[in-house]
A and B are shown apart, each in its own frame.
Chain A
Amino acid sequence: MQRLRVRYAKRGRLRFTSHRDITRAVERAVRRAGIPVAYSAGFSPHPKISYAGAAPTGVASEAEYLEIGVTTPCDPEHVRADLDGSLPPGLDVLEVVEAVSGGLADRLEASEWEARLPGADPELAGVAVEKFLAAGAVEVERLTKKGPRRFDAREAVLSLAALARTGPEGTDRTAAQVPGQSCVILRMVVRHMTPAVRPDDVLTGLRLVADFAPPVPPEVTRLAQGPLDASTGALADPFDPDRDTTRGGGPGPVSEQVAG
């Protein structure tokens, strides 16, 4: 069975999809696109599609990952185009590679996040970030399905910086971006741990250490996920190992079908 690894984005208003919504949408899109997805055996067969760590409901992402098992070998680029065409705009398929080695989930060690805080005070944000980074631990509380849970939000944060911006930029302008209004942008790299530390936990932390609270709900986007370079703190592309092999750089049953 060929396995295809898919990187997709959830953008704009589709950031309000939950993980369950996305799984249903993907399963239907796979059927509409005619991708020969494999089904599990047994009493109630379900399509072999697995998802790696979904971004929370309300959070946009440029780097979500899933893996599809197919019964007949497919050209990854065709699958990318067909699946993208069958998903609603806003769930956009960015890249598809054939899985060659290892587990994808293991490579997703950390995420880079961006949180836009329209109308927030840049100076206060800077102070809060400094205090947060200086702290040894920042206990936060989050309401989970099992009730309130307390954990440290500091240790997982590998980097955190506040930038000040004026007005909208980029192509995906959303509601909170008002032209001419100041906007604080937080950039952070957070290691995947249990319990997961999310950007809103970091924001809770900023409120606790420095009483910093943005006036409107933040717009959060996951920019990247991948293996962590421990020396630089940077994230690598999790598809690199698959790509290296398919270029003929390594061992394995590699195919010629990975053509552009």
Chain B
Amino acid sequence: MPVESIFHRLEALLPKVQKPIQYVGGELNSTVKDWDSADVRWALMYPDAYEVGLPNQGVAILYEILNELPATLAERTYAVWPDLEALMRAEGVPQFTVDAHRPVRAFDVLGVSFSTELGYTNMLTALDLAGIPLRAVERGDDDPIVLAGGHAAFNPEPIADFLDAAVLGDGEQIAIAISEVIREWKAEGRPGGRDELLMRLAESGGVYVPKFYDVDYHADGRIQRVAPNRPGVPWRVHKHTVMDLDEWPYPKKPLVPLAETVHERFSVEIFRGCTRGCRFCQAGMITRPVRERSITTIGAMVENGIKESGFTEVGLLSLSSADHSEIGEVAKGLADRYEGTNTSLSLPSTRVDAFNIDLANEFSRNGRRSGLTFAPEGGSERMRKVINKMVTEEDLIRTVSTAYSQGWRQVKLYFMCGLPTETDEDVLGIADLAKKVIKAGREITGSRDIRCTVSIGGFVPKPHTPFQWAGQADHETVDRRLRALRDALRGDKQFGRAIGYRYHDGKPSIVEGLLSRGDRRVGAVIRGVWEDGGRFDGWSEHFSYERWMAAAERAGVDVGWYTVREREENEVLPWDHLDAGLDREWLWQDWRDAVSGGEVEDCRWTPCYDCGVCPTMGTEIQIGPTGRKLLPLTVV
């Protein structure tokens, strides 16, 4: 039976809301399939505003791949702003997809992609507006399977009560596999209802169904064990890894919005994974091993993406883009190909490395040299050893000076505050570093017209990293150090005016820490915050620390116990039954090495140090060089 569009009901509300265009769909390259032509129907949600969610690569890739399946359709839905939410509630308009404005509850799956934990309350809003019970155990056969993915899904325990299922890792293949399981189950007449479908998904070991696991606690609150509560459910659930990125050259048909979004560009992932071994970096740990996309596929994807989208900017994405084994050839090839076409190239996430200046020069061959960004992360050499961000002060100053001497006027430096073992001196070291950078820059350019901006935020220990056992710094300490750094920078007569300072205060990091390393008991806090009006927690103007603390108190949750408490080696962590491939003993050893200042090399170029991922996941590092050239272009 066809499902009616709710657009006519939404349309009457749109003149009364801000930026109505974000709710009407109709993006170039968007897809609307006939409802009855599909056996399996996905609503894909990015739980933030449209302007943030639309450029998200994960959702865009799955949207395209699922819609390419003949009997599957996928549509997108985003968080609605409070102004529209209020009108929708008043008029009884349900959560809708922007493609065909179908009600979300009519779909088989609601897939939610969590890049960050701060989208949890927005998921609750969407479920509630959709008319889907918030708690998974209260859902019936007519409700969609609520499925989480994305990096935050590597510890979905705080939202376990609200999820039917979660998947870890790359979504391309598992999304197709889930579609097939659902199709078969529906074709058989939905035997055993919702629970049998979830059971079929859980049995595979590739889909986590929280309600099939029981969590027992010690009297002191620590977890005693997490165990399957029915036969056939595996003890551990494993992450998914796509091994040949050249076989998955998505997006092929990039979505081009009418509304303004945060990234107005065509993005190509040039590789996945990172083995630099930065200990704070969850992304680097959970996406191993490194898998490069070949230079020829990159060239063909950029060519196609520009043609299909009309974008004027191309972003080459990855966790550390300059590490691609043929990045020099990629940069030169693209700069040659697009010379004189008003197409700009950008390379986010670069390390502190002189080689990157050459790359940046290549990318800005025809444009202006406005700013370069580096991320030393730690202010002192000791601190950088602890986090395994191997860059010496000399390297940093030399690299930045080179940038100034080649015409770059503005350099941004990213740092974190509240890292394990950090002292006030480590943070104040950032001020010294910034001053030295400006001093060296003035000497080498003979000009005072150079600037550097220090950008710093609070560190949040993340699951599946060596710092998963660490005590998070409390927000008073973080804020005190951030203020001291500000005073040290501003108070400097000689260099202060050349140094900008941007920082985030420490309170939001505590909430992020609670959600990152929380267990199922934190779900009551999330629900409490949402019921108290919590929405869009990733937006400082909507975020309320007090609301989170009040909800935690009502739920009897001790925030400090989850955040600033250091864990022992043998404590069962809430995500221990979820397998990112990393060997727990290796992680612990790396945590110990961090505290004692031991470093780890990058296993792309040095021998394996047994992090555990490749053998347990049956994967391997895939890097070039292929020796091929980007030009002439080949068609994918």
List residues of chain A with CB under 8 Å of any chain B CB.
Answer: 13-14, 16-18, 20-22, 24-25, 27-32, 39, 43-45, 47, 57-58, 86, 88-90, 174-176, 216-217
Contact = CB atoms under 8 A, between A and B. Distances in A.
Interface stretch (B193-201, B257-265, B319-327): B257-265
Given A13-B24, A14-B258, A16-B24, A28 B309 contact: yes
A27 B256 CA distance: 12
A32 B260 CA distance: 18
Given A17-B21, A24-B264, A174-B11, 4 more contacts: A16-B24, A57-B20, A88-B26, A175-B9
Contact of A217 (B15, B24, B306, B307): B15
Contacts of A217: 12, 15-16
Q: Which A-B residue pairs are the 8 nearest by beta carbons?
A: A28-B310, A175-B11, A175-B8, A16-B20, A32-B310, A31-B310, A217-B15, A13-B24
B309 A58 contact: no
24 contacts: A13-B7, A16-B14, A16-B21, A16-B24, A18-B19, A18-B21, A21-B258, A24-B258, A27-B312, A28-B309, A31-B312, A32-B307, A32-B309, A45-B342, A57-B20, A58-B14, A86-B310, A88-B28, A89-B26, A90-B26, A174-B11, A175-B9, A176-B12, A216-B12
A25 B28 CA distance: 10
A72 B15 CA distance: 41
Interface string B241-267: 000000000000000101110001000
A30 B342 CA distance: 13
A88 B27 CA distance: 7
Contact of A29 (B264, B310, B342): B310
Contacts of B367: 44
Contacts of B27: 88
B92 to A, nearest CB: 15
Nearest to A33: B310
Contacts of B543: none
B167 to A, nearest CB: 33
Contacts of A27: 310, 312
A249 B342 CA distance: 39
Contact of B258 (A30, A88, A174): A88
A58 B15 CA distance: 6
B258 A17 contact: yes
| Residue picked from B16, B20, B308, most chain A C-beta under 10 Å | B20
B501 interface: no
Given A45-B342, A174-B11, A175-B9, A28 B24 contact: no
A39 B11 contact: no
Nearest to B16: A217
A58 B20 CA distance: 8
A84 to B, nearest CB: 13
B8 A13 contact: no
Interface string B4-46: 0001111110111001110111111000000000000000000
A29 B10 CA distance: 28
Contacts of A21: 21, 258-260
Contacts of A176: 11-12
B368 interface: yes
Nearest to B11: A175
Nearest to B22: A16
Contacts of B258: 14, 17, 21-22, 24-25, 88
B21 A43 contact: no
Nearest to B256: A28
B311 interface: yes
Given A32-B309, A88-B28, A13 B11 contact: yes
Nearest to A176: B12
B4 to A, nearest CB: 13
A30 B310 CA distance: 8
Interface of B: 7-12, 14-16, 19-21, 23-28, 256, 258-260, 264, 306-312, 342, 367-368
Contacts of B308: 32
Contacts of A25: 258
Contacts of A89: 26
A106 B392 CA distance: 63
Nearest to B101: A13
A43 B260 contact: no
Contact of A175 (B7, B25, B309): B7
Among B9, B19, B264, B342, the most chain A Cβ lie within 10 Å of the Cβ of: B342
A58 B308 CA distance: 28
Nearest to A44: B368
B212 to A, nearest CB: 43
Nearest to A32: B310
A28 B311 contact: yes
A184 to B, nearest CB: 17
A3 to B, nearest CB: 19
Contacts of B21: 16-18, 21, 57
A16 B306 CA distance: 26
B617 to A, nearest CB: 40
Contacts of A13: 7, 11, 24-26
B368 A43 contact: yes
Contacts of B12: 175-176, 216-217
A230 B173 CA distance: 68
A86 B11 CA distance: 25
Nearest to B14: A16
A12 to B, nearest CB: 9
Q: Which of B24, B27, B309, B311 has the most CB atoms of chain A within a 10 A radius of its CB? A: B24
A49 B8 CA distance: 34
A226 to B, nearest CB: 27
B315 to A, nearest CB: 16
B526 to A, nearest CB: 33
Q: In the complex, which of the residues A17, A30, A89 has the most CB atoms of chain B within 10 Å of its own CB atom?
A: A17
Nearest to A174: B11
A101 B23 CA distance: 41
A29 to B, nearest CB: 6
A97 B33 CA distance: 37
B310 to A, nearest CB: 3
A135 B310 CA distance: 51
Nearest to B19: A18
B402 to A, nearest CB: 23
Contacts of B11: 13, 174-176
Given A175-B8, A217-B16, A14 B24 contact: yes
Contacts of B28: 28, 88
A150 to B, nearest CB: 23
Contacts of A43: 368
A171 to B, nearest CB: 16
A188 B19 CA distance: 27
Contacts of A47: 342
A174 B15 CA distance: 13
A125 to B, nearest CB: 19
A174 B10 CA distance: 11
Nearest to A31: B310
A175 B12 CA distance: 7
Contacts of B312: 27, 31
Contacts of A29: 310
Nearest to A13: B24
Nearest to B27: A88
B87 to A, nearest CB: 11
Contacts of A175: 7-12
A25 B310 CA distance: 9
